[in-house]
Amino acid sequence: MKDIAEIRADFPILNRKVYGKPLVYFDNGATTQKPKCVLDAVTEVYESYNGNIHRGVHFLSDMSSEAYEAAREKVRTFINAEKKEEIVFTSGTTGSINGIAFSFGERYIKPGDEIILSCLEHHANIVPWQMMCERKGAVLRVIPINDNGEIILEEYFKLLSSKTRLVSVAQASNALGTLLPLKEIIDAAHSANSPVLIDGAQGIQHGIVDLKTMDCDFYVFSGHKIYGPNGIGVLYGKEKWLSELPPFQGGGDMVDKVTFEKTTYNELPFKFEAGTMNYPGAIGLARALDYVHDIGRDNIASMEKDLLLYATTRLSALKDLILYGRSDRKISTISFLIKDIHQYDTGMILDKMGIAVRTGTHCAQPVMDRYGIDGTVRASLCFYNTKEEIDALCDGIEKVKSMFA
Amino acid sequence: MTINEVQNNIIEEFSMFDDWMDKYNLLIDLGKDLPVIDPKYKVKDFLIEGCQSKVWLRPSYDGNLITFTADSDAIITRGIVALLIKVLSTRKPEEILSADLYFIDKIGLRQNLSPTRSNGLLSMVRQMKLYAMAFNAKSK
């Protein structure tokens, strides 16, 4: 297995300085950095075989189409889905959820129907459902959380009813890092005859995702949060759902026959892939998944567990530091505030020390409302981070305290 | 002093520091001189909300000059607000309207004013100009 120095050497950007200080990149929850092999894979598309997919009779188009379909197969094996037809490429998590919310709403939702979300969701898993509910007269129900930032399962079980049409929850909270109890959530929803969408935006990069075991009905994630390029994402849906749902976008490639009277749609998964798809992105994503596979998802999970433990221990020991999200089951994301110091002030000073964190509501305002705060500072770590960087963060926090005292 | 003279003074003051921390320490100190808005006006009507920090801004107009009081929940923001007030407060509406605020860029605080930061500062400049426009129209 590669050691940490070798791993870091794979990511060119980690070597750079900002404001003359070594970069400490703790904003992986927003986007991850890309290993050289991913950058090379995308460059190679443009340098060697760029041609629009599925259309041409020519050599380059064939080569691109083949690489694109190989990327689909790579995603399928990575998440252990049953069929390639169940893997739809999208622009990202937000694109995937918007698509499903639209199609599912059109096909199944009537006034008075209910969609269940959790209080931990980021806006991408709230707003598309809200828009659909407004259009269809349906209602959102929200699973509350406790002070540790964990969803309260008993409350969830009470929300499930014959009105429930879909449950859509995050694999892990982007703001607090809490992992949700997916098995309990999915089993209970299925007992109530409701399908489940799992938003894997903050989950897939931190461990093994096996959809055959998980048994969710839809699973979505973004390429750029798992070391792949930006602008590519995945929508997985069980074939029985995808074949019943109408397309959410119309255009080229998703059609079978087009006349001005009626259009019939292409088969799965192409029915959901209208227009020119981001095939360089998909090919880059496939390379990123290979990279993650080579490092080893077990290894990544255990490295991140170590980092989380070290960071939590060190940060907890700092005076006047308040941690938000104290669940035992977390990804390596830590949300905090320094007592009496605004998160924006903390973030600005840490930035000048070369430490990149996110501040604010993390596009998850309901979570902040739950704690009665305006926002937090979020350090989201991943396997290429180090304990020395956590030490640098702690030093940075002490500096912030001295400046604003 | 004209608006540009005040801006040039600020630029000179900041040029004494190479280190970012010193610049921010200066901002923090400047925040302490801010003519703070009366707490009773810290209400929604005077709130300029950004996603990073909040700014409250209240104008008063004596028929000749506009004076601003303000506050922010973040101290660095308060420092920048204090600078804006130094430059734009106690001015004629037309002066405010025609002001070209180049000092922000020159002292290296541009990132605080870009639209994507959405910390309320860009909106604050816009709001100061809107107040000036409104008072200008009223006095004609």
Check CB contact under 8 Å for B75 and A404: yes
Q: Looking at the partner chain, which of B24, B28, B53 has a beta carbon nearest the beta carbon of A344?
A: B53
Judge contact between A214 and A200, C-beta under 8 A. no
pLDDT band at B123 (very low <50, low <70, confident <90, very high): confident
Which domains does chain A possess?
4-26+296-404 (3.90.1150.10), 39-294 (3.40.640.10)
Judge contact between A152 and A105, C-beta under 8 A. no
Pairing of strands A164-170, A114-118: parallel
pLDDT at B109 over 80: no
- What is the Rg, in whole angstroms, of the alpha carbon atoms belonging to chain B? 14
Q: Looking at the partner chain, which of B20, B54, B74 has a beta carbon nearest the beta carbon of A345?
A: B74
Cα distance from N-terminal residue to C-terminal residue, chain A: 45
- The 8-class DSSP code of residue A354 comes to T
Pairing of strands A139-143, A114-118: parallel
Q: What residue has token string 């995937």?
A: A96
Give A191-221 pLDDT, tens digit per residue: 999 999 999 999 999 999 999 999 999 999 9
Token digits for B20? 């970012």
Q: What is the pLDDT of residue B117?
A: 53
Cα maximum dimension of chain B: 47
Chain A interface with B: residues with Cβ < 8 Å: 19, 341-345, 348-349, 352, 359-361, 374-375, 399, 403-404
Check CB contact under 8 Å for B25 and A360: no
Which domains does chain B possess?
3-138 (3.90.1010.10)
Check CB contact under 8 Å for B52 and A359: yes
User: Among A37, A133, A363, A394, which one carries the catalytic annotation?
Assistant: A363
Q: Looking at the partner chain, which of B20, B25, B74 has a beta carbon nearest the beta carbon of A344?
A: B74
Name residues whose C-beta falls within 8 Å of residue A151's C-beta, 6 or more positions apart in sequence: A118, A119, A120, A143, A144, A145, A169, A178, A180, A181
This complex has an ipTM of: 0.87
Q: How far is CA B4 from CA B8, B107, B110, B131, in A?
A: 6, 14, 18, 20
Which alpha helices (DSSP H) does B42-119 contain, by range?
75-88, 93-98, 103-106
Mean pLDDT of chain B: 87
Check CB contact under 8 Å for B52 and A19: no
CA distance A304 to A308: 6
Torsion angle of the four alpha carbons A116, A119, A125, A131, in this order, in degrees rounded to the nearest 10: 70
pLDDT band at B108 (very low <50, low <70, confident <90, very high): confident
The verdict on whether omega for the bond into residue A269 sits within 30 degrees of 0, i.e. cis, is: yes
Report residues of chain A scoring pLDDT below 70: none
Which alpha helices (DSSP H) does A228-342 contain, by range?
239-244, 279-295, 297-316
Token digits for A200? 């894997």
Residue B51 among the catalytic residues: yes
Give A278-322 pLDDT, tens digit per residue: 999 999 999 999 999 999 999 999 999 999 999 999 999 999 999
- What is the Rg, in whole angstroms, of the alpha carbon atoms belonging to chain A? 22
Token digits for A146? 């406790």
CA distance A377 to B35: 29
Count of positions (residues) in chain A: 405
Q: What is the pLDDT of residue A132?
A: 98
Q: How many CA atoms lie within 13 A of B26 on its CB side?
A: 17
Q: How far is CA A237 from CA A63, A83, A208, A218, B105, in A?
A: 27, 10, 18, 4, 49
Contacts of B119 in chain A (CB under 8 A): 344
- Angle CA B112–B28–B117, to nearest 5: 15
Check CB contact under 8 Å for A348 and B25: no
Q: Which amino acid, one-letter code, is at B49?
A: E
Judge contact between A219 and A198, C-beta under 8 A. yes
Q: What is the pLDDT of residue B120?
A: 60
Backbone angles phi, psi at A336, to 5 degrees: -155, 165
Pairing of strands A321-324, A139-143: unpaired
pLDDT band at B114 (very low <50, low <70, confident <90, very high): low
pLDDT at B113 over 60: no
- Angle CA B55–B56–B60, to nearest 5: 140
CA distance A316 to B94: 53
